[in-house]
């Protein structure tokens, strides 16, 4: 009987051992069809990149709690001490290595939205709404440094000369303020808000906007030391899929990192259709200028002959409950293009001795040639283009909003800085005058 019990015990033990591999972890395989499915997984010690790669993640831990409803900005001074701003009400804290906060600034405004340091560790604080820029010295003395008299102060940046740049809303303006406090409007955008600012170390100010999610490069033209700098010809270097740029920063590798939030409203293309069955596509780009002029000509011809014309066009706004998108053009009239070409003819292009095949500049070369961009250096909303064309034709268009078509892009911009620098020529023709001249020519040429 005892031997039988022993045999049973041995068999039971063998069964348990045999079942252990079934309880152990093993390699599992599964398939996901898109990024959103993959993103739903729980990441432990890894980070998921937008291209689907998994990489080791940074380790996060609790550092401090300043007991504020909102924290909007973090900055470190030259000694490496961390500062944080937020609200409400507006406050700025300095943290020691253990994370203990000390209040260095407070005011009656709702929030301290932005902070920045100069080379002397003077702290600049931008408050909102209806706020001001305050200056806090290393000794803790606080005073109003600049009042832009705008609704919002979103962002601050200080260049190597100590000039403070102030990004504001809701007029989309940037101000430049010298160390002595002399201020001037530096740049006026077509956007409502300048949400983020950064300096690239090459003499350019980088601005992030809302609501189009644009990243704009603005050259800084420095004059007399006591005067605020001027803005050079601005150029959009990137348009994000997000509506609002919330942060800009340059890495040690020189790459610019951009954070954006908020999906843009549904986009629309610009289609012109006549009830007779003829359809014209109003291509903003990359159909280019020629495609745009062909569409405008088609619209002019149809309207001049009494055919009803329907335009579809984007606007990043919501109208009566349905969303439509935006197309912006940077276009100049053909006579202005000819003027630019004529000015360039009399000056022989020179080789660029600094040209490198490793990082080529497509506008120059070892060979004696130059490429110049001719445009108005500013964007025009396609809806505005259509409105002016309606005024010139004396006919109203029925607008038919459709989805964005393959090949269309939301915006085009002409960087004409080289043309201005080399030939002192900048297109000044307003869209109203240019389109009026085009319609007159078209009607005269085709006898309509």
pLDDT tens sequence across 307-319: 433 333 332 222 2
* pLDDT band at residue 194 using 50, 70 and 90 as cut-offs: very high
Task: CATH 3.90.25.10 in the chain: give the residue spans.
Answer: 268-446
Q: How far is CA 145 from CA 70, 186, 229, 260, 443, in A?
A: 24, 17, 18, 30, 58
Fold of 70-263: Neuraminidase (2.120.10)
Which pLDDT tens digit goes with each residue over 20-66?
A: 455 556 677 767 666 667 677 777 788 877 777 778 887 778 888 88
- What CATH superfamily classification does 268-446 receive? UDP-galactose 4-epimerase, domain 1 (3.90.25.10)
* pLDDT band at residue 441 using 50, 70 and 90 as cut-offs: confident
For residue 117, count other CB atoms closer than 10 A to its CB. Answer: 18
The percent of residues in the chain predicted with pLDDT above 70, rounded, is 70
Task: CATH 2.120.10.30 in the chain: give the residue spans.
Answer: 70-263
Contact 118, 199 (CB under 8 A): no
């Amino acid at each position: 009987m005892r031997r039988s019990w022993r045999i049973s015990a041995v068999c039971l033990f063998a069964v348990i051992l045999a079942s252990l591999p079934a309880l152990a972890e093993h390699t599992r395989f599964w398939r996901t069809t898109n990024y959103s499915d993959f993103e739903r997984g729980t990441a432990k010690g890894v980070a998921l990149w937008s291209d689907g790669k998994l990489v080791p993640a940074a380790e996060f831990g609790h550092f401090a709690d300043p007991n504020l409803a909102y924290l909007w900005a973090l900055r470190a001074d030259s000694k490496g001490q961390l500062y944080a701003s937020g609200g409400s009400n507006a406050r700025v804290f300095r943290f020691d290595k253990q994370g203990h906060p000390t209040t260095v600034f407070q005011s009656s405004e709702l929030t301290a939205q932005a902070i920045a340091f100069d080379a002397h560790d003077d702290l600049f604080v931008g408050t909102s709404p209806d706020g001001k820029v305050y200056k806090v010295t290393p000794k803790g003395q606080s005073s109003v440094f600049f009042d832009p008299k705008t609704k919002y102060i979103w962002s601050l940046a200080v260049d190597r000369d100590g000039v403070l740049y102030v990004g504001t809303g809701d007029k989309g303006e940037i101000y430049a303020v010298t160390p002595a406090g002399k201020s001037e409007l530096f740049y006026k955008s077509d956007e409502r808000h300048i949400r983020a600012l950064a300096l690239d170390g090459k003499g350019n100010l980088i601005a992030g906007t809302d609501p189009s999610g644009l990243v704009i490069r603005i050259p800084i033209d420095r004059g007399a030391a006591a005067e605020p700098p001027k803005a050079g010809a601005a150029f959009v270097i990137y348009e994000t899929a997000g509506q609002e740029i919330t942060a800009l920063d340059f890495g040690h590798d020189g790459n610019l990192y951009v954070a954006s939030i908020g999906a843009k409203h549904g986009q629309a293309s610009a289609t012109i259709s006549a009830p007779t069955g003829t359809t014209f596509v109003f291509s903003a780009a990359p159909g280019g200028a020629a495609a745009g002029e062909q569409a405008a000509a088609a619209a002019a011809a149809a309207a001049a002959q009494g055919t009803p014309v329907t335009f579809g066009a984007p606007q990043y706004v919501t109208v009566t409950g349905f969303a439509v998108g935006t197309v912006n053009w940077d276009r100049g009239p053909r006579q202005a293009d000819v003027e630019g070409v004529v000015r360039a003819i009399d000056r022989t292009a020179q080789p660029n001795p600094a040209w490198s095949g490793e990082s080529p500049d497509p506008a120059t070369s070892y060979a004696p040639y130059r490429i110049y961009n001719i445009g108005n250096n500013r964007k025009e909303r396609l809806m505005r283009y259509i409105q002016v064309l309606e005024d010139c034709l004396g006919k109203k268009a029925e607008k038919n909003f459709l989805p964005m078509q393959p090949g269309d892009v939301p915006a085009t911009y002409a960087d004409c800085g080289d043309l201005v620098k080399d030939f002192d020529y900048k297109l000044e023709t307003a869209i109203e005058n240019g389109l009026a001249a085009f319609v007159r020519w078209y009607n005269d040429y085709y006898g309509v």
